[in-house]
Amino acid sequence: MENKLKQMRRAMDSTTHKGNHFTEFQKMNIRKAVHTDRREKPNRPNKFVIFAVSTFAICLLAFFVSTELVARQDQDKINGGTTDEWEIRHEYKVNQNIKFSILPDPNLKAETPYGYIFSFAEPFDTYKGKELSISALHKETGERIQVLPHQEIIEPSSGYPSLQRFTTTFTLPYEGLWKYEVYLNSKAYGDVVVNVAEKAKDAPITLPEDIPDFVQVSDFENIDWKRKAVEFGDRGIIGNENKSGVIGADMPSLNGQKWMWHLWGVKNADLTIVGFHKESQTVHKILTNGMGWTIRAYGPNNGADAHTPSSVRIPKKGEWAILLYVNGELFDQLIYDINE
């Protein structure tokens, strides 16, 4: 038995149990593990912070989505539910429900009065006691005209329960696409788009109602279209030398421009400016910023005896005669080709 025990000791001494098998560092870690009553847990993010960040991100996403939807809905309302704002349409719809429609004259032309029938589809209480007005917006020039002043709605159309037959008559000055905008108590209600044909070539020249009395139709019938304005002097004045001319007439003027008017043989005077478009045979006020038809010319400048600045806007492309009146008398005609 003693011999067997000795053999076992020798066998164990020849294995990994012989000698020192733990370093001091390993011993320290073992002692620490034995005497520690809890395990250290890794740090975790605060649950409230996670919730707050997530909520903010969701709200931000919802805001952008709702904003986009509202913008699309507003655009659809402005456009009458169509993808093209200026598509010809005689009905105004909301969610495929017709709010109103019009019956335009099939022979609708510029410079000619025409009657319209507006058929409003909502119950009369929608309109009763409110002020209804209509504006017309021209696509090409951007000019807006109030064709129906504010009118209080007191009773339905004769023989109808609501405004199924609301009639009005007005005249549009230019051919092209026009948008009729309907307002209730000055709030946009809806719009339709019509195409207005060019006035008949043989139609008589008509004058705007607010034009000065001394302007006559015969002034436009006697325009010398061959007498084109030319550039003279060293300041880029374009006109009729030693009579009248403009600085700025060679600049793009369809969307607005500053012109400097020059007159020779004239001292401080009232200068009335009237535009006439050859192709459409129509008379236009070209001064803007509330200047009306007449401005004051005063003092010499650039060799001229009198001058004055102004803002102008030419309504359409083409050949133009600018008629100048000084103190109520026809003074000169400036012939320009304006295409931008």
**Residues in Cβ contact with 332 at an 8 Å cutoff, skipping those fewer than 6 apart:** 239, 240, 243, 244, 323, 324
The C-alpha atoms of residue 114 and residue 107 are separated, in whole angstroms, by 9
| pLDDT for 28 beyond 80 | no
How many other CB atoms are there within 10 angstroms of residue 259's CB atom? Answer: 20
Strands (E), 95-184: 97-103, 114-120, 131-138, 144-152, 166-170, 176-184
Confidence of residue 279 (pLDDT cuts 50, 70, 90): confident
Question: Distances in Å between the alpha carbon of 262 and those of 162, 217, 234, 290, 308?
Answer: 58, 25, 14, 21, 7
Q: Tell me which residue range forms the domain holding 275.
A: 217-338
| pLDDT for 37 beyond 90 | no
User: Could you tell me whether strands 244-247 and 269-277 are parallel, antiparallel, or unpaired per DSSP bridges?
Assistant: unpaired
Mean pLDDT of the 280-298 span: 89
Whether residue 229 is found in the same domain as residue 320: yes
Whether residue 190 is found in the same domain as residue 292: no
More confident residue, 123 or 317: 123
Q: How far apart are the first and last CA of the chain?
A: 124
Mean pLDDT of the 162-190 span: 92
Mean pLDDT of the 98-127 span: 89
| pLDDT for 3 beyond 90 | no
Question: Distances in Å between the alpha carbon of 286 and those of 48, 70, 200, 283?
Answer: 66, 39, 23, 10
Whether residue 222 is found in the same domain as residue 151: no
Whether residue 255 is found in the same domain as residue 150: no
The C-alpha atoms of residue 227 and residue 239 are separated, in whole angstroms, by 10
Q: Could you tell me if residue 63 is inside a domain?
A: no
pLDDT at 272: 95
Confidence of residue 75 (pLDDT cuts 50, 70, 90): very low
Q: Which residues pair with 177 in a beta bridge?
A: 195
| Tokens representing residue 134 in the block | 């209509």
CATH number at residue 167: 2.60.40.730
The model's pLDDT over 209-258, given as tens digits with 9 standing for 90+, comes to 899 999 999 999 889 999 999 999 888 899 999 999 999 888 888 888 89
CATH number at residue 254: 2.60.40.3830
How many other CB atoms are there within 10 angstroms of residue 292's CB atom? Answer: 13
More confident residue, 254 or 3: 254
Whether residue 227 is found in the same domain as residue 139: no
